[in-house]
Amino acid sequence: MSRLRALPTRALSALVLTALLGLAAPSTATAETASPITPAAVSTYQSQITNDGTSVYYPTNATGELPVALLLQGGKVHRQHYSQYAAAVASYGFVVVTPNHRRLNFFDTDYYTSTSQVGETLSWMATENAKASSPLHGRIDTDTMVLLGHSFGGATGLSIAEDTCSIPFCTTLSFDLPAAVKAGSFYGTNNAILGIYPSIDNQIPVQLVQGQSDGMAEPAQAEKTYAKIANGRKQIVRVSGANHYGITNVQNPSGAEAETSAQTSTQAASIATSARWSALWLRAQLGDSAAATYVYTTGDAADPSVTVTSVR
């Protein structure tokens, strides 16, 4: 069991989305970055995890049980702004859930993630899998969860990965990392505390995906954070031309803090690249050998929009 410690704040009906996102098959125009897994058509529906309205994305025609990816939203960013990214990750074989977690964070009540969402999502997984009326009835691997995170949500993910109860991410007296949580991939994330980067005692593999044009969570901060990830498998993926909002549907989502550094990549490209690397790296941590070959061996050379550093 972890103890409380203080850290800073920084850091419809089911619908097939393929026509909107172009996820049914890889484009011949991007053959050089094609993954070893063909992205699938995706459907979505609305649900609720505890008190949080939640969008659920899943590969429509997938067979067998699917792992769940909990997407921890950025501070003050509504879940609707992650619909394209969430669907893109889901197309690689995940159930992606995007709860809108609204709570008090010091003196501000807004969308701020917390470590409690892990247990809440595990409970939802079991209930949803057993519910006869659910589109995912009998299709959820209730023993396997991975984490996605953006900005504040990524910092929450690092706290979860460390099995710690850290203010402002932990809103209870303690937190225990469940065995079902296998790995985490976090975008625009660092652990800087007044210029100091504490060691990260991660208990699960961690990937950082970092836009190289990010003016809010800067690339140098991600590099220093990556160096402090102490245990086991880790990876940092540097995405050329992407800024802090490279995985949201639009730049500077309504209600969120504004990014002043311009993105030179298109939004569609930064979403597709980030989602592909997150999804395949997470699949690799779950034992997918083809995904592992891509993220550790062939993908960096094949994808001109990234540079990658890994420890296996």
Contact at 8 Å (CB) between 49 and 68?
A: no
Give the closest residue to 256 by CA, choosing from 160, 188, 203.
188
Q: What is the pLDDT of residue 175?
A: 94
Q: What is the pLDDT of residue 248?
A: 99
d(CA 148, CA 178): 16
Residue 28 is encoded by which pair of tokens?
């011949």
d(CA 162, CA 128): 28
- Give the per-residue SS3 of 29-59: HHHHHCCCCCCCCEEEEEEEECCEEEEEEEE
- Residue reference for tokens 């969308």: 111
Q: What is the pLDDT of residue 13?
A: 33
**Looking at this protein, which amino acid is placed at residue 158?**
L
Tens place of pLDDT for every residue, the chain, 312 residues?
443 333 333 333 333 333 333 333 333 335 447 789 999 999 999 999 999 999 999 999 999 999 999 999 999 999 999 999 999 999 999 999 999 998 877 888 889 999 999 999 999 999 999 999 999 999 999 999 999 999 999 999 999 999 999 888 888 888 999 999 999 999 999 999 889 999 999 999 999 999 999 999 999 999 999 999 999 999 999 999 999 999 999 999 999 999 999 999 999 999 999 999 999 999 999 999 999 999 999 999 999 999 999 999
How long a stretch of residues is the chain?
A: 312
- Whether this prediction's pTM lies above 0.75 is answered by yes
Contact at 8 Å (CB) between 53 and 66?
A: no
Contact at 8 Å (CB) between 189 and 217?
A: yes
d(CA 162, CA 165): 9
Return the SS3 of 80. Answer: helix
**Looking at this protein, which amino acid is placed at residue 226?**
Y
Contact at 8 Å (CB) between 154 and 202?
A: no
Give the closest residue to 87 by CA, choosing from 12, 17, 186, 184.
17
CATH code assigned to 4-311: 3.40.50.1820
Strand partners, 110: 103
d(CA 243, CA 221): 14
First to last CA, the chain: 27
